[in-house]
Amino acid sequence: MSDTLLLLVGLGNPGPKHAKHRHNVGFLAVDAIAEAHGFGPPRAKFQGDLRDGAIGGRKAFILKPQTFMNLSGQAVGEAARFYKIDPANIVVFHDELDLAAGKIRVKSGGGNAGHNGVESIADHIGPDFRRVRIGIGHPGDKLRVTGHVLGDFAKTDREWLEPLLAAIAAAAPALAESDAKFTSDVAQRLQPKPDKKPRSEAAPESPIPKPAAIDKGPSANPFVQALQKIFPRKH
């Protein structure tokens, strides 16, 4: 058993057909972490896309199972056994229907709350792994749940999704310390910034205008590309 290796798992369904689904927010979360912390490129391994790097001074792997959600545990089980990673050092990022959109909760162990991907992982490695539950909100009617979970993010979701993913990525090193530290760091980064105090001195009569932003075209950052596909720019 390794006390130093971390395995960060994002849950989702593979392929462009599912890329915009709320059910795939786990994929987006680990992509954000990988890009923010310079993980290597993805390579096919353990029935998934695997990237390696470091988080909080600890060697870490990021895994996106490509088996479809209901069989996620196959990929996670293979990786955990190969690297001898204890469930306490496995962090799974997944969507949570019963949390308000943009909220997160972190816990270790427990039930699967009806999430098939989480259930599959528990079947393969036991229930004692860590879960970062990312709220996608409830549609309010159980008859609309499937369409909501397997539906695309709305344009209005960008207002909470982008800041949340950025906060998760920035706070990820705290996962090497404790879940509580990670939760606290994410919350702190999402707090609205106080308004700046007005400057006491008078503004110059002829301020120098700032140069116009230059559209550099599509980003080379895979995480940014994924967001641009969900929320395409208007030209």
Residue 23 among the catalytic residues: yes
The residue among 176, 28, 166, 32 whose CA lies nearest residue 95 is 28
- Sign of the alpha-carbon torsion through 78, 82, 88, 89: negative
DSSP code for 234: P
- Sign of the alpha-carbon torsion through 88, 93, 94, 96: positive
Q: Got the DSSP string for 59-71?
A: EEEEEEE-S-GGG
Burial class (CB in 10 A: 0-12, 13-18, 19+), 215: exposed
End-to-end CA distance of the chain: 53
List of residues 6+ apart from 57 with CB closer than 8 A: 173, 176
- Alpha-carbon distance of 34 to 188, in angstroms, equals 21
Active-site position among 18, 21, 23, 94: 23
The residue among 132, 87, 126 whose CA lies nearest residue 106 is 132
- Sign of the alpha-carbon torsion through 139, 145, 146, 150: positive
In 9-115, where does DSSP find H-type helix? 25-36, 72-83
Residues noted as catalytic:
23
